[in-house]
Amino acid sequence: MLVRAASRGIAAARSGAAPRFAAAAASTVPSRSAHKVALREALNMAMEEEMTRDKTVFLMGEEVAQYHGAYKVSKGLHDKFGPDRVIDTPITEMGFAGLGVGAAMNGCRPIIEFMTFNFSMQAIDHVINSAAKQLYMSAGDINVPIVFRGPNGVAAGVAAQHSQCFASWYSHCPGLKVVSPWNSEDAKGLLKAAIRDDNPVVMLENELMYGVEFEMSDEAMRDDFVIEIGKAKVEREGTDVTIVTFSRMVGVALEAAKELEAKGISAEVINLRTIRPLDRDAIDKSVRKTSRLITVEEGWPQSGVGAEIQAVITETGAFDFLDAPPERITGVDVPMPYAQNLEEAAVPKANHIVAAAERVCYRSR
């Protein structure tokens, strides 16, 4: 217990530091009048707006109230809504996840924050067996409108038990919806949609992105801005190769696309936004246009999101349009190393995507 508590203290302290893998980090929360908004603030906006709109919405988790969250995502919410709606919990994911599921079954819309999704393993029985299956097992009589959210994927310097991607884990399970934002608009729009959804939703954020600022449109700044769950977004149009990815890897894919453009290769980058249900139509349409496919994810290769996407294109018929074998870019198939040089070697980089694109376009030597 002491080791676990110490690790959480390290994670909380680290939230204010510049992440090794992030392109930029915000040291202060930007004002809402500015349209450049840090991802953590976009999440905060979503929760504040939905808690104001719907009195049944509340936030619960470790350090979310008086400490404003380990990564300051819930800053100010306790002051505005009070301890009945922004609730600090003991260190027991199984306990507060179960309380949240019970509250959801009885008319509330809880937001359950895991300090990291690695700790959601302590609560997975409630996420899968209590929340995901309840509507089916009650013959449609009992909804569980709950959001499980928190940082997922590669972190920095926290080793194997605190740095892994759970996208394929949770997207495997019927009854759940799984979303994963890349930028601030994704974060705000997807979280608001998740809170309003009558089904349990797992929202996989990324610790290294919390302080990164993104431009937000006038529309996204509005209280009624929502992104439809299940719809991907083409972040960059292209004609030669399709790159499908999500979360932090969208930025890495866009970086790779710029490098490829200089090499005469036009890459289309698809931001999935939703892992379950996948936007099969968007993937199919893009692959039929470019005739080449690369998937990118931080998670491990076996049974991964990329493997599912490549299966999807065979089922939709886009496989017949391929001019080269599809490629998967994933994290290395090992538990995350602690040493910085090994950690960086285990994580996908833009140069990996560039090399894959050159191979599928038959440009590599």
Active site amino acids: 93, 162
d(CA 170, CA 111): 17
d(CA 165, CA 326): 22
Tokens (6 digits) for 282: 């968007």
DSSP labels, 52-104: HH-TTEEEEETT-STT--TTSTTTTHHHHH-TTTEEE--S-HHHHHHHHHHHH
d(CA 104, CA 232): 28
Q: Judge contact between 179 and 273, C-beta under 8 A.
A: yes
d(CA 220, CA 105): 31
Q: Which residues contact 125 (CB under 8 A, 6 or more apart)?
A: 94
Tokens (6 digits) for 312: 């999807």
Tokens (6 digits) for 354: 């560039």
Backbone angles phi, psi at 161, to 5 degrees: -85, -5
